[in-house]
Structure formats: C-alpha cells, structure tokens
Amino acid sequence: MTAADATTVELFQQDWKLYRKMVDNNFLFHREAYAALHEVLINDAARPFRFLDIACGDASASVGALRGTDIAHYHGIDFSGAALELAGKALTELNCTVKFEQRDFLEALAGVVEQVDVAWIGLSLHHLQGMEKLAFMRTIRNVLAPGGLFLIYENTSPDGEDRENWLRRWDLQKPFWTAYSEDEWNAMAAHVHAADFPETDATWHTLGREAGFASVREVFAAPTDLFRLYGFSK
Ligand SMILES: C[S@@+](CC[C@H](N)C(=O)[O-])C[C@H]1O[C@@H](n2cnc3c(N)ncnc32)[C@H](O)[C@@H]1O
C-alpha cells in the first residue's frame, strides 16, 4: 500500500529545493504552526516523551519545535533520501536517541512500530482520501501510549467548503509567492491539484472521534485558513 501519487514522488524525491523555498518564505505558515506545536509539547506531552515524525522531510521545522522540550526519542519516516540526509544533520543538535526509516509511511506504520507518546504529521495526511485517513488515524491511535497525543497540521476547509473551492482559494496565493518563478508555481500547483484532499473542520473532528480519540481540539489556523493544526488525545 502506498500514499503517494506520481506528483508527490517527483516533487519530494527529485526537487526538494522547491519545497524548501516554500518553507523558507513561510508561505504555508510553518513558523507559526511549529511554534504552536512547541507550546503543546511543553504543556501537554508526557515527560520525557517519544516523538514519531511522519513524513518528516528534512525535519528542520520539527527540530525547531522540539528544541527545549523533554524529548527522549525521535523516530522520523519519509521516502525522500535527500530529505532524510538533511534530517540526520538537523537532529544532531537534540539530546535524544534518533531513528530514521526511508519508507512509505503507510507501509512503515502497517508493520511493527514502537509505542510513542506524540505522533506528528505536517502537511502530508491530505494525500489520503476520506476512509484512508480514518484507517490511518486508527493505526496511529494504536501506536500511541496511554494518554498519548496525535497532532496534525493539514489542509482544512471551513465547514461547507468543497475541494474545488479550497483549491480556488489555494490558487489565490499566487501573487504572494513572489519568490517562486512561473514554472515553480506551476509545478507546485500541479502537485496540489493532483494530490491534495482537504477536510472540513467538522470532518476532522468526526474522523478523530471515529478513530477512537477521547478529544479533538483546534490549536492553530493559518491566516489564509487553508491549513489548521489539530490535537487528538488518546
Ligand atoms: C509537504 S512535505 C512536509 C514535510 C514536513 N513534515 C513539513 O511539515 O514541512 C511532505 C513530505 O512527505 C513526504 N511524503 C509524502 N508522501 C509520503 C509517503 N507516502 N511516505 C513517506 N513520505 C512521504 C515527502 O517526501 C515530503 O518530505
């Protein structure tokens, strides 16, 4: 089983710099989202905690969120070798044990997975569609220790908005992405139009409850309201 369509594989395995430019320019509000993650880790996570970073990419934003927390173990999963090479360097500054898996995250999580206290997925769960998201969230719940937390920063629609209108709003970002050339914008837009499946706020809450989580809460919404951060407690 795999969660990746062709545009996802191409974009993240062959052209990591294009994604990096998006992060460096804060086009998707990584700074604010990962600052919010840091606050949750400080205030609500077990002490010490084991952290699972699903689709970790180069882990640079995660390391920023984990700095100064009581992390004991970091486990990153991503299928991009280029990204994992950078992640390995970024993780050296944290005082914890580290494990990486270069694999499709659905395959990795279908196997034997060590229990963790916090599971995090940043901007990658939206590649799955409806029922696949639910099955995935049930799998994550089983990987969490009692009292564990699942946190996501993902494509979200206000209630009542469909995918077509979410994509229309996504396209409205173009004038603000001044660091991107026309070709770079087109490559990213093609990927998002092919592979991104947002959920409404109400659906995220329903998915959380149906996956068996005791509570769901919204932690942060991007100023564009294209992305929101949710916390699901076991
Ligand atoms: C949008 S980036 C997100 C990176 C990071 N989590 C962040 O918040 O910036 C998506 C990452 O997910 C990885 N990815 C996408 N689908 C994947 C899959 N099915 N299995 C493993 N990694 C995947 C890509 O290689 C890429 O590093």
Q: Mind listing the pLDDT tens digit for each residue in 137-185?
A: 999 999 999 999 999 999 999 999 999 999 999 999 999 999 999 999 9
pLDDT tens per residue, range 169-228: 999 999 999 999 999 999 999 999 999 999 999 999 999 999 999 999 999 999 999 999
Does the residue 200 lie in any domain? yes
Residue 221 DSSP symbol = E
Residue 61 CB–ligand 1 contact under 6 Å: yes
Residue 155 CB–ligand 1 contact under 6 Å: no
What is the mean predicted confidence (pLDDT) over 25-45?
98
The pLDDT of residue 5 is: 67
What is the mean predicted confidence (pLDDT) over 52-78?
97
Ligand 1 center to residue 41 CA distance, Å?
21
pTM beyond cutoff 0.85: yes
Residue 4 CB–ligand 1 contact under 6 Å: yes
- What CATH number is given to the structural domain containing 199? 3.40.50.150
What does the block give as tokens for 193? 């139009």
Does the residue 2 lie in any domain? no
What is the mean predicted confidence (pLDDT) over 107-123?
93
Residue range of the domain that includes 184 = 8-233
Distance CA 108, CA 56 (A): 13
Number of domains comprising the chain: 1
Does the residue 165 lie in any domain? yes
Does the residue 3 lie in any domain? no
Q: Which stretches of the chain are DSSP H helices? A: 6-14, 16-24, 30-44, 60-66, 81-91, 105-110, 130-143, 163-171, 182-195, 201-210
The pLDDT of residue 37 is: 98
| pLDDT at residue 4 tops 70 | no
Residue 95 pLDDT level (bands cut at 50, 70, 90): very high
Query: Is the alpha carbon torsion for 69, 41, 113, 2 positive or negative?
Result: negative
Does the residue 214 lie in any domain? yes
